[in-house]
Amino acid sequence: MAADTSRLQAPSQGAPTEAPPSGSPDGEAPDFRALLEQERQELLGKLAELGVGDGQELHYDPNFADSSQVTAERGEVEALAQTLREALDEVERALAKLDEGTYGICEVCGRPIATARLEAKPAARRCIDCASKGKTAP
């Protein structure tokens, strides 16, 4: 077999590639898994920046929060980390639900969450109705 050197030359293409992203059915809802994975990576990155992420499981020591020696600065970082962890938790729950096939179902009332809401907040666990009423899952 002769060595194929022709591939070193870029093939001439008339139009730039405009192929639809693979994995998502065309015309359907956006690829929520990709959106969630992206959000997850961002949250993990932010947690790592704070020095509290490190890819470990959710771990929050309540004794730490009770300590009167916690400085304001430390508390601020901890509060931010907690917010990020909660967001990460929601994203991971949503990913798990994608695997289970229950993604997009309100955890409170069991009705489908509007696609527009999921596009705005892919990790949403409640429909707009339950969220606006402040209902939480049992």
Give whichever of 49 and 119 is closer to Zn ion, judged by the CB atom. Answer: 119
Give whichever of 44 and 128 is closer to Zn ion, judged by the CB atom. Answer: 128
Give whichever of 35 and 108 is closer to Zn ion, judged by the CB atom. Answer: 108
Say if residues 105 and 126 touch (Cβ distance below 8 Å): no
Interface contacts to Zn ion, rule CB under 5 A? 106, 108-109, 127, 130
User: Backbone dihedral region of 109: left (phi > 0), alpha (psi from -120 to 50 degrees) or beta?
Assistant: alpha
- Report, in Å, the least distance between residue 35 CB and Zn ion: 21
- Report, in Å, the least distance between residue 138 CB and Zn ion: 12
- Report, in Å, the least distance between residue 97 CB and Zn ion: 14
Q: Could you give the C-alpha distances from 44 to 34, 52, 58, in angstroms and in order?
A: 15, 10, 12
